[in-house]
Structure 1
Amino acid sequence: MKASVQLRDQREARLRQQMKNTPMRPLPPFQLTSWNHFVDEEVKPPELTAGSPPAADRKKDQTALAYHRHLRMVPTDAMTHMQNMVVEAVHLNSGRREGLMDQVIDGPAGTGKTCLLRAVGRAAQKEIEAATRGRQPNHIPVVHITTPADPESKTNWIWEIASYLGLNPEPRNIAEVLEMRRHPDLTLPVNYILETTQTRLLLIDDINRASPAQLADVLPYFDYLRDKLGISLLFCGTGASHLIHQARIQAQDAALVSEENRLRLQQAGRSTTPTDSPSPTALLPVTWLHPLPWTPRTPKPSGKYWQASKPTCACTSSRNTL
């Protein structure tokens, strides 16, 4: 534990230096320090006084630029429902031994899946911290990772979690960066930290970068985190539901259950229609993000026309009962 704290301090020092050298570049929230900064960040619109200069003269206004750099989701009933659903799933998974269930965010590209994923993670962490009377020093309620560049090996997935937790050692020089070496297996320290820091939610983004065969190799480890440590998992990516279902079939989980169910029904003399066995697409709660069409140009009462709005997204959930 002491070594992991020292590695984390070294990483945070490097991140602070990086932020000092490049203050205009926000850090991705795939590390604990930057994620906590993302959770605590309050983006307020700048105050514009009456008779303010036109937009061309506001390019030097750093307050306005800092506000417009942030892409925030507009609060809607669907977004609030999704946040409440995942937070409820986190509480249920943490308080029961059986029936733990993952969640999936799916939809076409450009519909705001990553924004919704992080908004859900932020809402979950704030509620967990509110229940524990603030942020505790040895408490990491949410872990946010992305699919590794090489998702072939399970070790690379665990390395992403270790990078978030600050467990992987920093390279000492450029020679170590250029050296072709395999990542060490950090499964035991990662499991120890996740258990001792009471992690409740694991966000996995860009799952579409992995193939079903690659997911089939790492899903048993995610199942271990869910069943042993009570960690809720939220997958996100275009086609995420199909990828996970196919990975389950390749892992011979859903296919084996469906075949055994068909044989039992056949022996009992019942009809074995496709509805008798649950399909893989019905085993996972999925939140779909649909692109909204352009709004029609309806005339105003004054005879002028409304400006067509930019396409955004809407969320719907299927099988979201917990």
Structure 2
Amino acid sequence: MSREKLIRVFGPGVAEAVTQPVDPPLLTTREGWDLAASRRLAPLKRADWAPKGTEVGPRDPRLMYHAEMLPVVTPALWRGLLDARRQLRKNRFRSIGRATDMIIDGDRGTGKTTLLVQIGRGFQGLIESDLGSDPNRIPVIYVTVPPERESNLHWSLPLAEFLGLNHTLNPDDRNRRTADMTEAVAHVMRQAKTRLVLIDGINRIQDNEIAAAFSYFEALQDRTNVTFIFCGTGAREIVHEARYDKRRKNLPDVVKGKTYFSDLPMLWAGVIPYGNDWHSVVQGFEEDLCLYDHKPGTLLKLSKYLHQRTGGYIASLSDLICQAAQEAIETATENEPEAITKRLLDDIRIGRGDSR
């Protein structure tokens, strides 16, 4: 399956492609999510570049583009999108029992949220392509774990915020008291044909909150028939504990003592070892650069150096290349080419033990 089909291509029902917005969209709102989901994931056309030598302003399109660039197909992204597509295709037309949820786990900086968002974008594109455009349909909800998680009220609020529901009991109340929005959320999700809920930052749930949180998810799932995808470092253990460990004494003997870590599909995001996969990722970044003087193959020749600098973490690699590309655009002169060089990369500071 090609990169185009996995990441970039959407059906005719999806909103017209847009360029990078002036302000990054807030994914936890419906408007922000739809804007991100409809954005064309492709490098800027050369015809849209400012002429070489033009003074670069703070909102130059190429500066904005290189702040994030495009999702490069790492092994985790490739496999995760493929597995999710198969699972969601199956879940979509099942009516008996709960849909099979999924888990995205891995170390920090390995691309978990990127995978989560791309799964959501792809599913929304599939629905729009199949059923056509409908302003009342909300196929995907993206939320992060709320700062307070003691009750159903707290869990209902990020969902209500995404759906644009007013959850304030009395707007004039100085304390801005809020109501448990579960009933309203479930009703809107059913009416809007929501089928996928993305929960990011699941690692923020504390041990004593796990049982209540997942009881809430299961109750909501029973009423809406949605699929949940739980994303965060340690998500596997968190979900497994919620489903079994606290209730193991009540399980049938045939189930007790099982050693599997999860009975749900696991989508792993890991460090990329040095080798062909790493070279492919570096090449992906290089192909998406929009720099006047960058010579193809330059980054690929620095592949080992880039791995040493980043430890194989995709987030660190993206941070390094994006900063270097922006710096190359801003500092280019007649004597200084607009290109990423090792000298420029050496001057960029990133994390992961990069102490120079």
**TM-score after normalising by structure 1:** 0.72
Given that 1:245 and 1:280 are in contact with CA atoms closer than 8 Å, whether structure 2 keeps it comes out as no
Q: Percent identity?
A: 29
| Structure 2 match to 1:218 | 213
Question: Counterpart of 2:178?
Answer: 183
**Structure 2 CA distance, aligned partners of 1:63 and 1:30?**
25
| Offset at residue 156 of structure 1 (A) | 0.9
Whether 1:247 and 2:242 are equivalent positions in the alignment is yes
- Could you list the per-position Cα deviations for residues 171-229 of structure 1 after superposition, in whole angstroms to 9, with x for gaps in the alignment? 997x75xx335420111111100111111100000011111321210212211333342
Supply the AA of the counterpart residue of 1:292.
Answer: I
| 1:154 to 1:251, Cα distance in 2 relative to 1, 3 A | farther
Deviations 1:124-145 (A, max 9, x none): 110111111x221221100000
Pair 1:256 & 2:256 matched: no
RMSD of aligned C-alpha atoms?
A: 3.3
Q: How many residues align?
A: 266
Aligned twin of 1:290: 270
Quote how far apart the aligned CAs of 1:53 are: 4.5
Structure 2 spans left out of the alignment, 5+ residues: 1-20, 280-299, 316-356
Cα deviation for residue 60 of structure 1 reads 5.7
CA distance in 2, matches of 1:57, 1:31: 35
Within 5 A, what are the aligned runs for 1:84-103?
84-96=82-94, 97-98=96-97, 100-103=99-102
Superposition pairs of residues 52-63 of structure 1, within 5 angstroms = 53=52, 58=56, 62-63=60-61
Tell me the secondary structure at the aligned position of residue 291 of structure 1.
coil
Instruction: Tell me the alpha carbon deviations over residues 209-266 of structure 1, each in whole angstroms, 9 at most, x when there is no partner.
Output: 11132121021221133334220000000111111222334652x5522xx225xxxx
Gaps of 5+ in 1: 1-22, 263-274, 298-303, 315-322
Alpha-carbon distance in structure 2 between the residues aligned to 1:218 and 1:152: 9
Contact kept in structure 2, 1:213 and 1:250, CA below 8 Å: no
C-alpha spacing 1:167/1:305, structure 2 compared with 1 (3 Å): closer
Cα 1:48–1:135 shift into 2, 3 Å: closer
1:195 and 2:190 correspond: yes
State the TM-score, normalizing by the size of structure 2. Answer: 0.65
Per the alignment, residue 34 of structure 2 pairs with: 36
- Partner of 1:238, secondary structure, is coil
In the alignment, which residue of structure 1 is the partner of 2:143?
A: 145
Q: Which residue of 2 aligns with 1:227?
A: 222
Contact 1:145–1:204 under 8 Å retained in 2: yes
Structure 1 residues 112 and 313: CA distance shift in structure 2, 3 A: same
Q: Distance in 2 between matches of 1:181 and 1:71?
A: 40
Inter-CA distance 27–279: structure 2 relative to 1 (3 Å threshold): same
Work out the CA distance in 1 between the residues paired with 2:78 and 2:233: 21
